[in-house]
Amino acid sequence: MAELQEVQITEEKPLLPGQTPETAKEAELAARILLDQGQTHSVETPYGSVTFTVYGTPKPKRPAIFTYHDVGLNYKSCFQPLFRFGDMQEIIQNFVRVHVDAPGMEEGAPVFPLGYQYPSLDQLADMIPCILQYLNFSTIIGVGVGAGAYILSRYALNHPDTVEGLVLINIDPNAKGWMDWAAHKLTGLTSSIPDMILGHLFSQEELSGNSELIQKYRGIIQHAPNLENIELYWNSYNNRRDLNFERGGETTLKCPVMLVVGDQAPHEDAVVECNSKLDPTQTSFLKMADSGGQPQLTQPGKLTEAFKYFLQGMGYMASSCMTRLSRSRTASLTSAASIDGSRSRSRTLSQSSESGTLPSGPPGHTMEVSC
């Protein structure tokens, strides 16, 4: 009969003294929740302190996804619906994320003292190198909305070697002209700051419809404890300089760019004009139907698919499973070859301009993706 041997079994994760399996599970759950909430940091810059939240861990030879929000919002109210969307999890598992809050926009931010000189949008862009140096990150893929899209574009112009790609939602690269200033001043006489910001974020149709989304964001802005800070950010946006994009010139974005705007959104014309000024071989234009002024809030699924497609064009996530966009792209190209009639606008997800391209398509190819 074989001799029995005593075998000692050691726990892979031994319990702490006095810890039960139940409390160990609770501690592990708490740690996961903490990781899911991200790690918030602040760093001093020549133009004041800036706060940002980091999710995930850096991946070797991969850039960080770096977001910047619009006026009236912070990173949570601007981007959470997008980055919490189910299909987006495949992306965020592959990249570390950095969500920046413009100064004074973070939750619990104190109101700046009277007379405080808020940074210009150019100065906000100049804060970004301090963030990347603090984190020891070398390159980013920027995702910006409105004022945030302008800030990331300005940064990319100044530091092209550190930006691998840009997703720019509702960008207006132009400074306000005299007519714009006159209209802005006239509106300021009859409208409150929250109303003007809501008109910047959403279309008039959305505001008139007063959906649950509009009610939610109207409440967020009207009752914001840092409304004075929001007004300072708003003023900086309205005092922005022209980015002076020039197709074929020196002042242009050197990285792949995806421009995004909602059908009939407040900034539709500005984004179309921006697309006409950028390199057509590097720029794709996504015009999203039924998405209003904030596509990342109203159509996170469609925007996630477009983002995956954009990343694939840059050489990342080659094995990612494409669904809605890849199927509809094929159907769209087939129908485009045989049908030259009018298309239902409500079924259009994106439409490139006459010289825009998607990253993986041939240069100059016009594409309409339907769903």
Q: What is the pLDDT of residues 307-329, one digit of tens each?
A: 999 999 999 987 665 555 444 44
Q: What is the pLDDT of residue 317?
A: 83
The pLDDT score that the predictor gives to residue 43 is: 97
Of 40, 42, 67, the closest CA to residue 54 belongs to 40
- Predicted local confidence at residue 179, as pLDDT: 61
Sheet strand arrangement including 48-55: 39-45, 48-55, 97-101, 64-68, 140-145, 163-169, 257-262, 283-288
- Low-confidence winner among 135-139, 238-242, 329-333 (lowest mean pLDDT): 329-333
Task: Read off the pLDDT of each residue in 342-356 and give the average, rounded to a whole number.
Answer: 35
Choosing among 3.30.300.30, 3.40.50.1820, 3.40.30.10, 3.40.50.2300, the CATH entry for 36-313 is 3.40.50.1820
The predicted structure's pLDDT at residue 318 = 76
Better pLDDT: 351 or 309: 309
Burial group, residue 82, by CB count within 10 angstroms (0-12, 13-18, 19+):
buried
Residues 243-265, mean pLDDT to the nearest whole number: 93
pLDDT at residue 1 is higher than 50: no
Q: In this model, does residue 32 exceed pLDDT 90?
A: no
Q: What 3-state DSSP class applies to 56? A: coil
Mean pLDDT, the chain, rounded, equals 81
The mean-pLDDT minimum among 69-73, 131-135, 197-201, 328-332 falls in 328-332
Q: Is the pTM of this model over 0.85?
A: no
Q: What is the pLDDT of residues 120-168, one digit of tens each?
A: 999 999 999 999 999 999 999 999 999 999 999 999 999 999 999 999 9
State whether residue 167 is helix, strand or coil: strand
Per-residue confidence (pLDDT) for residue 323, from 0 to 100? 52
